[in-house]
Amino acid sequence: MKRTTGTDRSITRNWRPATQAVRAGTWRSEMGETSEAMFLSSGYSYDDAATPAARFAGDQAGMTYSRLQNPTVAMLEERIAVMEGAEACRTQASGMAAMTAALLCQLSAGDHVVAARAAFGSCRWLVDELLPRFGIEGTTIDSTDNAAWEAAIRPNTKVFFFETPANPTLDIVDLAHVCGLARSHGITTVVDNAFCTPVMQRPMEFGADVIAYSATKLMDGQGRVLAGAVCGTEEFINDKLLPFQRNTGPNLSPFNAWVVLKGLETLELRARRQCDNALKIGRFMEGRVPVIKHPGLASHPRHDMAMRQMTMPGCIFSFVLDGGRQQAHALLDQLQLIDISNNIGDARSLMCHPASTTHHSVGAEKRAEMGVDEGMLRFNVGLEDADDLIEDLDRALAAIGL
């Protein structure tokens, strides 16, 4: 394998995001291929017995087994690390595998976690159901309340865990404040950056320690594969994450890594277009529906903060209808162009009713506490022409009397 300029951090860290997304992390084989090679190999062979001995001892760089490292996966990990401004990155089979690894690799019985109460349903399940089984207690708070973070800290608090913007309430966490508070108490922040990706928000610039991803979302961006990633310091990745990952095996397949590499090439372009569409459609929806939650609209309670933290306004928004679940389902059933689907970040426009899908399993009581209203719909705005999407919504809203 030959190095390209993409493998030199002293060069790649100065590139702008669109360049990093196409070039960073690229190695070339002897064939000189332009597109990254896909290494579908679980194992590796050696010229002599001393070579694997040196590699297993850590004295020589090189491949040994694809649960430990794989060239295609390594290219993706380097690209994500550079884009995120992190020292290191490792990928996992899904976003939830990434969240689970990021938490379990550093927590032990007797530790305490403070987490945002408004979160992706499975992220809440980790804090509410999984961690307590291993003696790790969690406190969930209103993540938009800066004082609540401080009040929840205990002597054994090890981790702050949150999303910003949150799925599906679009709550914005004050990154600089919350990450600064954590640092001053020796607490590690784990930020789920799935709604943004590094082309829209780089939480490490605000003091975040660990960034965990669903790369299924905007990074693949075309609804093809599940993927996850965890970014952090070399120390965190090597000493905490890698021992956990290498021995438990939530690894990303080389094929899926390759698909995400192809997705990253167009990430910045797609994100711009999808955000432009989302703002245009958000403005159309304001006044047409009772409540709309989009960080890019002045009506969002933390609009100014969101625009300081994010470099683009986001392509996902939620809105609430007065008629509850029945009216929300009725609107979905009127859509012709926009799909009823619970994925996000996709090039296709997708709408879902979180209370009956992504947040079904958290239960009615927690949904009410999180602000996931029965009449809420979450809209992933895709790459289609915004005017076609507006016409679909206009017609569907009129059909249910709005």
Ligand X SMILES: *Cc1c(COP(=O)(O)O)cnc(C)c1O
| Binding site residues, ligand X, CB under 6 A | 94-96, 99, 120, 123, 163, 167, 192, 194, 214, 216-217, 226, 228, 344
Closer Cβ to ligand X, 6 or 138, answer by number: 138
Q: How far is the CB of 94 from ligand X (least distance, A)?
A: 3
Strand partners for 116: 141
Strand partners, 139: 114
- Provide the minimum distance between the beta carbon of 164 and ligand X in the complex, in angstroms, as a whole number: 10
CB-nearer residue toward ligand X: 209 or 392: 209
Rounded least distance, CB 130 to ligand X, Å: 14
Instruction: Please identify, using beta-carbon distances, which residue of 120 and 236 lies nearer to ligand X.
Output: 120
How near is the Cβ of 138 to ligand X at its closest, in Å?
Answer: 16
DSSP helix/strand/coil, 23 = helix
Gap between the Cα atoms of 347 and 259, Å rounded: 15
CA–CA dist 221, 217 (Å, integer) = 5
Strand boundaries in 168-235, DSSP class E = 188-192, 210-214, 228-232
Q: Which two tokens stand for residue 225?
A: 């594969």
Contacts of 116 (CB under 8 A, 6+ apart): 140, 141, 142, 143, 161, 162, 163, 166, 171, 173
CB 261, min distance to ligand X, A:
17
Nearer to ligand X, 26 or 188 (CB): 188
Q: Which is nearer to ligand X, 171 or 392 (CB)?
A: 171
Instruction: List the structure tokens of 327.
Output: 């009216």
Residue nearest to ligand X (CB): 95
175 vs 396 by CB, closer to ligand X: 175
Decide whether 163 or 373 has the Cβ nearer to ligand X.
163
Beta partners for 157?
Answer: 112
Evaluate whether 299 touches 174 at the Cβ level (below 8 Å).
no
Smaller CB distance to ligand X: residue 130 or 397?
130
Q: What is the DSSP letter of 219?
A: I
Least distance from ligand X to the Cβ atom of residue 391, Å: 28
Residue 74: both structure tokens together: 């390594």
CB 327 within 8 A of CB 317: no
Beta strands in 164-236 (DSSP E): 188-192, 210-214, 228-232
* 205 class by beta-carbon count within 10 Å (0-12 exposed, 13-18 middle, 19+ buried): middle
Minimum Å distance from CB 76 to ligand X? 15
CB atoms within 10 A of CB 89: 24
Q: In the complex, what is the shortest distance from the CB of residue 370 to ligand X, in angstroms, rounded to a whole number?
A: 13
